[in-house]
Structure 1
Amino acid sequence: MDKTEGIANAKAASLRWGILRQALLRRPPTQNSADEQSINATKRISRKASHGFNLIPSHLVDKDPNSRDACVCYTLPINGSPKLFLNQRMDRRVDLSDFEISNRYNVDNTGLVCHWPSEEVLAYFCLSHADMFRSKRVIELGSGYGLAGLVIAATTEASEVVISDGNPQVVDYIQRNIDANSGAFGGTKVRTMALHWDQEEASNTSNTFDVIVASDCTFFKEFHKGLACTVKLLLRNAGTSEAIFISPKRGNSLDKFLEEIEENGLHFCVTENYDTEIWMRHQGFMNSDSSWPGYEKDHCYPLLVRVKL
């Protein structure tokens, strides 16, 4: 590890401890205090997405005041499609157990925060391209609450959909969401999988899937190598199987991941304008639409990356 990387890791660790400190204190900082500076810094690594492309309408169905979870209904914008009900966290508190599990399993907690905009885009893309999943075995990687995987299961007539994540807390939510929507899947087999992007752990599922989907999974560079190896391991056939990534550039993060893809002997193509509706909304946010303050193309607009053996 070089000196620059060591400094970056130390800075990230300091920010994580800042989150932990605020979770324990749970009190508002005084103006211009060190605590306020800590909170401002931690926002850079714990920002909760409050905006999106609004491609799939959703509304809160049920919120127990004594629970940190709620049920959200997603109305798929195609006639005849079922509504999907997803349990997810709705508060902003950080628990000590979140840090303990993150450290124990070497995973991040972003899947617990919210449905990120790229996940919604992936779900909409899958809904609009249902034919590519028909009769296929599909896996979603780093799925969070599993919206895209559930959309594929409910609308595309895939033979099997596996919704996976490396964080066991997230996997518990996925299972709850599969159970809550079991009547929407028809003949599609749907299951969850605890899958860390580690070749040794994934070896029993090698050469298994026709299609891999993932959204915004390339942000953390320390996971790039494992993710690229996992993609190569899971894809079934050269030429006919593929992985579909929906991901913003986020500086050089996506480019670095694609370097790992090439090093693993995989082939990829990147498309910027891949859907008329998504592109139109992106252009609106870049120009006159102010409903998403702070919208930046590099950080917010997800590109389509298709990877093949």
Structure 2
Amino acid sequence: MEKKTDVKVSTLRWKILRQALLRHPCPPNPDGQTQMGIKHISRRASHGFNLIPSRLLDEPQTNNCLGSGDARVCYTLPVHGAPQLFLSQRVDNHAHLSDFEICNRYNIDNTGLICNWPSEEVLAYYCLSHRDLFRSKKVIELGSGYGLAGFVIAAVTEASEVVISDGNPQVVNYTESNIAINSGAFGNTVVKSMMLHWNQEETFNIANTFDVIVASDCTFFKDFHKDLAHVIKLLLSNAGSSEAILVSPKRGDSLDLFLEIVKENGQHFSVTENYDAEIWKRHERLMNEDKDSWPSYEKDHCYPLLIRITL
């Protein structure tokens, strides 16, 4: 009888969930084909678009194949004279029960702790390539995760102030630590961390404050669309040419539904597909000759569009 080699996608997704929840050591001889299948259907990308060189400085101690602990990642910004950035990040490949408790308590998701997502790297690179947009401006990053884009803006754009915000208190703790680690890289730019829920009422003290809002891949969860659109309108300054700069994949109808709410709120927006020559080149390479480096890469789910929102 011929050995069956195909594994159902649903089975592979359950294996991903099992790996995330269990801390048992991996079997000594895992099914290689199954592992390859998991890699293919998982949306998590280890390398992304490889726009900003990075290397792991501190290899965490691991007790099993799932990994544990924190590590420092060094980002070398591809701009002459730019400082290196050192970001401590959690490198667990499994979830903690406390993660779910915090998500339930604060009505948030846990994706910011998993890794620096590809859209965050794209946003950081775009900000790096358009530094003049931020000079002397007050900037806030929403849903920052580890905040690579916020740290890049703080380090190279001469912004007057950069606030790196997230609704997850665990993420904010990492941000505070990383601000201290990189304090010498910011020049005269004031850099702060902030715990910010998009639906919280206690935002009157920062309303009408920011010249530029940035965010990456924050339109995925449809339940948060109204709150995100609201907080963007609330935080943007009414003076001058303030704007929100978002990068986000379409992800089915998710982005379109978010933009419908933006329009209903009386805000204006533009969507650009090809907004940077280098980013577009990497995208085309992933779609064609470099498929093996990101097996699950699909334009709809992975390539971030540029959205600019004004009042």
In structure 2, the partner of 1:267 is: 268
In structure 1, the partner of 2:168 is: 167
| SS of structure 2 residue aligned to 1:200 | coil
Q: What is the CA RMSD across the aligned residues, in angstroms?
A: 2.3
In structure 1, the partner of 2:48 is: 52
TM-score (norm. length: structure 1): 0.86
CA distance in 1, matches of 2:212, 2:252: 27
* Cα deviations by residue, 1:135-181 (Å, 9 ceiling, x for unpaired): 00000000000100000000000000000000000000111111110
Within 5 Å, give how 1:1-309 maps onto structure 2.
Answer: 19=17, 23-24=21-22, 26=24, 47-65=43-61, 68-237=69-238, 240-290=241-291, 291-309=293-311
CA distance in 2, matches of 1:82, 1:21: 37
TM-score (norm. length: structure 2): 0.86
Give the superposition deviation at 1:295.
1.2
Indicate the larger mover: 132-141 or 87-96.
Answer: 87-96
> Identity across aligned pairs (percent)?
69
| SS of structure 2 residue aligned to 1:158 | coil
Q: Is the 8 A contact 1:238 1:308 kept in 2?
A: no
CA distance in 1, matches of 2:20, 2:61: 22
**1:296 aligned partner, one-letter code:** E
CA distance in 1, matches of 2:284, 2:190: 38
CA distance in 2, matches of 1:28, 1:260: 45
Q: Is the 8 A contact 1:195 1:201 kept in 2?
A: no
Q: Residue 200 and residue 77 in structure 1: after superposition, are their counterparts in 2 closer, same or farther (change >3 A)?
A: same
**2:24 aligned partner, one-letter code:** R
Q: Is the 8 A contact 1:199 1:230 kept in 2?
A: no
CA distance in 2, matches of 1:104, 1:305: 31
| SS of structure 2 residue aligned to 1:63 | coil
Indicate the larger mover: 281-290 or 160-169.
Answer: 281-290
Structure 1 unaligned runs (5+)? 1-14, 30-35
| SS of structure 2 residue aligned to 1:201 | coil
Q: After TM superposition, which residue ranges in structure 1, 4 or more long, deviate above 3 angstroms?
A: 18-22, 24-29
Q: Residue 20 and residue 229 in structure 1: after superposition, are their counterparts in 2 closer, same or farther (change >3 A)?
A: farther
CA distance in 1, matches of 2:156, 2:174: 21
| SS of structure 2 residue aligned to 1:175 | helix
CA distance in 2, matches of 1:183, 1:79: 17
